[in-house]
Amino acid sequence: MKLQNLVTIVTGASQGLGHAIAEQFAKEGAHVAICARDSALLEKARRRLQDLANSGQRVLAYAGDVSSREQMQELFRRIEQEIGLVDVLVNNAGVYGPKGPSELVDLDEWSRALEINLLGTFIPTRFAIAQMKKKGAGKIVNLSGGGATNPLPRLSAYAASKAAVVRLTETLAEELREFSIAINAIAPGALNTRFLDEVLKAGPELVGSAFYEKALKQRDTGGAPIEKGVALCVYLASAASDGITGKLISALWDPWEKLHDFRAELTRCAALFPKIEERSFRSAGSRGAGNAVIAGDGSGIRQPNSRQRPARIRYAKALRAGRIDRKSSNMNRDREHAFQPATRNGHAGA
């Protein structure tokens, strides 16, 4: 088991991706604490997790608001008291917020979305860091969103807050590197969860006709497989990802299963290339640094073609296929940019 006896927390885990992550953590041998605002859904989720748990595994459910300092303080106090110091935190809780033209949406709802998505990531992270420093190590996984990598018209609160989460991830990675605490962001892809239901319910008048049409297509085709995002979370929570920090990783398009093979290069790149050279990504044909060419409105990922595929993907695929050697001078520059810091690197739809 990959997470045997680790103390883990997943926020927003009463349903959807968050609950799927918590379930897999339990299957991998972890103690699991889950948090959500809906106490009825949370209790159902707790029972399902308890059924999966083996003898000796602890499952804890706490109904609380991730943007409340007092409630999160109580959650982490209970976890430390009843299970132990935290090893892994997954900040999955989030909302779309108000939908529609930015000058017309309710300002209180807009602000509330930032509180949940940004403060609701930062506040649990603060308490987790304190416990992880006591323990000497830890892993934190943040959920990115489509708005973090591209403009997301009519969903400005979501876009702004998720972009902020990515920069927070990068910043904390540098702060925490010396304490052996890794923090990364993931892009699970456009999932068929309650977020999709919200878009379809809002209709084209609020979210725009193009975004709505993409949502309809996503509903009909099934969306991104949730298992990919879950597996990436397990990887980043496990010892296999030790040394990987400050990245935004696409569950669908990045070769993250072999990311640890680049650990030495990642460490070197973090020291030598703290800023991404924009020209390298413009030459790759991508609007942003990263994992895939992203639909202009942020509503979904499309498979990049060979000209548009960023350097990191081209290198990894060519290396696996045996077309290049690691010392190839033509690829050294690409390798220096592989799996760079998180800014603008992915897409999510959790």
> Does residue 179 share a domain with residue 98?
yes
- Whether 90 is in a domain gets the answer yes
What tens digit of pLDDT does each residue of 260-288 get? Answer: 888 777 766 666 544 433 333 333 333 33
What is the band of 300 on the pLDDT scale with cuts at 50, 70, 90? very low
- Whether 66 is in a domain gets the answer yes
pLDDT of residue 9: 98
Q: What's the whole-number mean pLDDT along residues 164-183?
A: 97
The tokens describing 290, both together, are 């990263």
Domain count, the chain: 2
Among 207, 232, 255, the domain boundary falls at 255
> Does residue 168 share a domain with residue 279?
no
Distance (Å, rounded) from C-alpha 326 to C-alpha 136?
34
Among 255, 281, 305, the domain boundary falls at 255
pLDDT of residue 348: 37
Q: What is the DSSP letter of 301?
A: B
> Does residue 251 share a domain with residue 273?
no
Report phi then psi at 63, rounded to 5: -85, 110
> Does residue 271 share a domain with residue 130?
no
Q: What's the whole-number mean pLDDT along residues 214-240?
A: 92
Domain range spanning residue 320?
A: 266-337
Report phi then psi at 303, rounded to 5: -65, 120
pLDDT of residue 112: 98
Distance (Å, rounded) from C-alpha 100 to C-alpha 185?
27
pLDDT of residue 270: 64
User: Is 313:253 a contact under the CB 8 Å cutoff?
Assistant: yes
> Does residue 176 share a domain with residue 47?
yes
Lowest mean pLDDT among 192-206, 234-248, 271-285: 271-285
Distance (Å, rounded) from C-alpha 166 to C-alpha 283?
23
What is the band of 174 on the pLDDT scale with cuts at 50, 70, 90? very high
Distance (Å, rounded) from C-alpha 348 to C-alpha 350?
6
> Does residue 98 share a domain with residue 126?
yes
In the set 158, 212, 235, 315, the catalytic residue is 158
Q: What is the CATH number of the domain that holds 168?
A: 3.40.50.720
Among 255, 286, 319, the domain boundary falls at 255
- Whether 187 is in a domain gets the answer yes
> Does residue 231 share a domain with residue 106?
yes
DSSP E strands: which ranges in the chain? 7-11, 31-36, 59-63, 88-91, 138-143, 181-187, 189-190, 248-250, 348-349
- Whether 343 is in a domain gets the answer no
> Does residue 292 share a domain with residue 145?
no
> Does residue 310 share a domain with residue 173?
no
What is the band of 320 on the pLDDT scale with cuts at 50, 70, 90? low
Distance (Å, rounded) from C-alpha 183 to C-alpha 89?
9
pLDDT at 179 over 90: yes
pLDDT at 121 over 90: yes
pLDDT of residue 265: 74
- Whether 207 is in a domain gets the answer yes
- Whether 45 is in a domain gets the answer yes
Residue 40 belongs to what H/E stretch? helix 39-52
Q: What is the pTM of this model?
A: 0.78
> Does residue 210 share a domain with residue 301?
no
- Whether 350 is in a domain gets the answer no
> Does residue 226 share a domain with residue 162?
yes
62 is catalytic: no
pLDDT at 323 over 80: no
Nearest Cα to Cα of residue 314 among 327, 333, 341, 294: 333
- Whether 146 is in a domain gets the answer yes
> Does residue 42 share a domain with residue 104?
yes
Coil, strand or helix at 5: coil
